Amino acid sequence: MYELFEEAGCPPGVFNFMTGGGATVGNALVQDIRTRSISFTGSRAVGLSINELAARAPKGQLWIKRVVAEMGGKDFILVDKEADVEAAATGVVQAAYGFQGQKCSACSRAIVHQDVYDEFIEKLLPKVKALRMGPAEEPATQVGPVINEKARTTILGYIEQGKKEGRLLAGGEKGPGDGFYIQPTVIADVAPDAVIAQEEIFGPVLAVIKARDYDHGVEIANGTDYGLTGSVYSRNPRVLEDARRRCHVGNLYLNRKCTGALVGVHPFGGFNMSGTDSKAGGRDYLLLFLQAKSISELV
């Protein structure tokens, strides 16, 4: 990609490519007095650390560094009693297991009205169990390996925790083959304050949570430290209008899955510990890298 930028005529020094560990190369760049703006996508812990380091102004630094941080989420799909349950189940599967759940916007919580809870699970499980695992380069593959062994170990640890916190309905084990595969996992009857309902797992693990009613569902949806993406399925226009006001996320989807924002078209950014609400992909995002200058002239 760097070579393509050069070939396209990007002036030297505008786009630079560096590799290295975050604790070494990353911290050095953040703390350097010549750095003016920082854009970061990654974990909450690292994002907060960058924000803290950037807030310090060492001798010789002439500006306050600006940080744009996108730090993950604990995203939900809320299924109302008046939802198209078939469509909701399809959306949850696509959002929970696409890219093996390794997306900050991946659905990790399905919050389902008690009136359609059993029906939702009945429609969900066949779709999950039908997912094809295999190497990512094979077109037929729907679930590939997670990024590395460390990630697989961490995710499997969350699954073991989830087995204590709910009812394992699908997956729960390593996948076949030599890669870092994990079976698409569904854990039902999870309490809203359970570990697997609160912490970002970043893997193919779905917690299914029962809501007493729609209002309780919104309470559960908003009940984490994050606020990146969310989705509400309902045929009731009043429910959808209410969701627009009360679901506290940067990107809300109605009657569709909670993933799939188009870069450069669909503004994307989160609330709370999901980041600085930068709305990457919209016009406001560019302004975060600029500084306003007002000029007045007496004529």
Count of structural domains within the chain: 2
- Is a pLDDT exceeding 90 seen at residue 156? yes
Residue 181 pLDDT: 97
Residues 43 and 143 in one domain: no
Return the bridge partners of 251, or none: 229
Work out the average pLDDT over 90-109.
97
Residue 252 DSSP code:
E
How does residue 285 score in pLDDT terms, banded at 50, 70 and 90?
confident
Residue 68 pLDDT: 93
Asked if residue 299 belongs to a domain, the reply is no
- Is a pLDDT exceeding 90 seen at residue 228? yes
Residues 103 and 208 in one domain: yes
| Domain termination site, one of 71, 88, 117 | 71
Asked if residue 94 belongs to a domain, the reply is yes
Question: Containing domain of residue 20, as a range?
Answer: 2-71
Residues 135 and 56 in one domain: no
Query: pLDDT of 170-185, one tens digit each?
Result: 999 999 888 999 999 9
| Domain termination site, one of 25, 42, 71 | 71
| Closest CA relative to residue 79, chosen from 257, 256, 233 | 233
Burial class for 254, CB neighbours closer than 10 Å (0-12, 13-18, 19+): middle
Q: Which helix (H) or strand (E) holds 204?
A: none
Residues 37 and 108 in one domain: no
Q: Are 111 and 123 in contact (CB under 8 A)?
A: no
- Is a pLDDT exceeding 80 seen at residue 168? yes
Residues 53 and 119 in one domain: no
Task: Report d(CA 45, CA 43) in Å as an integer.
Answer: 5
Distance of CA 65 to the CA centre of its chain: 25
Asked if residue 292 belongs to a domain, the reply is no
Q: Which long-range contacts (C-beta less than 8 Å, at least 24 apart) are formed by 88-93? A: 88/120, 88/233, 89/120, 89/123, 89/124, 89/127, 90/127, 91/231, 91/233, 91/256, 91/257, 91/258, 92/124, 92/206, 92/257, 93/124, 93/127, 93/128, 93/131
Asked if residue 278 belongs to a domain, the reply is no
Residue 282 pLDDT: 76
Residues 126 and 211 in one domain: yes
**CATH code of the domain covering residue 235:** 3.40.309.10
Residues 201 and 254 in one domain: yes
Residues 192 and 56 in one domain: no
How does residue 63 score in pLDDT terms, banded at 50, 70 and 90?
very high
Return the bridge partners of 200, or none: none
Residues 66 and 81 in one domain: no
Q: Hey, is 37 helix, strand or coil?
A: strand
Give catalytic residues, as residue numbers: 70, 104
